[in-house]
A and B are shown apart, each in its own frame.
Chain A
């Protein structure tokens, strides 16, 4: 045995860490209670490939799930929707986690490492870059044709409609309540027969823990940061963080600097891409204030990155190796 790792949380990042560390001989315990309900996720191709790699899946973990083949997008000043190919699968988060849940051990002794994959306020201070929230609601769709998802920017927010069954879907409204934003919609509203309830509200602006790690502990997944859903990158980023966290724990040397700089670089790229999408959709004060917060985030993250020394490691496969 290499040591003991206590992982706080039961999300994608937690289970990826548990998988990678336990197969390398660590004793791993996932602490806390699994969530009983989760959102509907669209898992893109690169995240599917990463999860299949991490879980050594001989058969594709996702082959039996419904596939989204196109994205229909009406964004910014476009007058007609764009139809783009897509190869994502639709899965409820809870059902996905059932597939990934590790058969881990538990232990009562002190752990050598702690991985916080849920927010641990004692570990650091959260930086928030924006105020927007998202409201998710189940919806009834007008048609049973369910291989397309829909994205639309509005005067005071944006909508994302993801079918998850015949005549059924999940609607995400960022910037306001579902019905209020649907009133502004020209594209998504046309696909919806009825809105169910209740709405679930959650944070949709980027946030990050500062610091991201310290001696004997690492923040990972939603314990480290959360992304704006506009990028469709939250799950993939959680897997990447878990791969890196596991590599740092396995490393005989000190990989905390590399961990911080890679996570900050990923967060910076997310902020840049978000800003690009938000600027291209800017139509009201709502967009302007969120763009200003994103720009503040870019400055903050660049400043943090500039104070870090150059990393002496590179991630090769699942391990950190000296440059």
Chain B
């Protein structure tokens, strides 16, 4: 058993163990141990099984070089195939692709998915049904509708419309999302339908005013069922974003890191914020005593707007200290 560990250490010697490489090494360790156990189970001696398991891995050195960013194809194939519209880019570190902002729009254009006409027609029809049902329910609450049949139909119609819209929407491939598996999409649709049904029944019961139990018990059951189903689906939801969207999101996260890279900007932002809120509070008092308290809150709105402008300026504006060297973006 110890030989697996020694062989692994040997393979990873001479490279800086980044967190990614450490992660790879630990993953390989468990898999190697599993393979060794398999070999030993068929009677291969321990020392030989470790050696064989290791030799079967393939080109470990190339893998380590790729993962440590030294290899030839360190970038993902998706980013490698994406046309770089900017000037011939200088070699950049692998996690920080320099990409001009307009290529985000270009990527969105390239990955555009048009909705199916059938889906659009279905959603419009379901929307009309929902509108009709909502009108009936509003009239019921207002006390105009008195019978139980019409609100009941409206509740069913609203639930059907909601379920239809949610299910078919989730089954659609969009520019940024993959379609959901049909089982899960149906689950979301049924959950939404149950919640809408429950709310519609509560509304009907309140509007009609009589036989409350007959309305509220099924309403409660539908609501609880819907909430439970939706919570479970939400808790088990996995990624459905397309790769290009994730890439752009990662780049935008990197843009927000400017305060980490540039502590001066963070300190400036702190001082500006303090000044803005002190001035805003002073303006609040002045306005309150002169123009009246009804208008004094505008000072805080102005202060907030100013703070966001300063934040945007500090995060995305031009840097004055480019001459200091590292030209990061």
Q: Indicate, yes or no, whether A interacts with B.
A: no
Residues of B within 8 A of A (CB): none
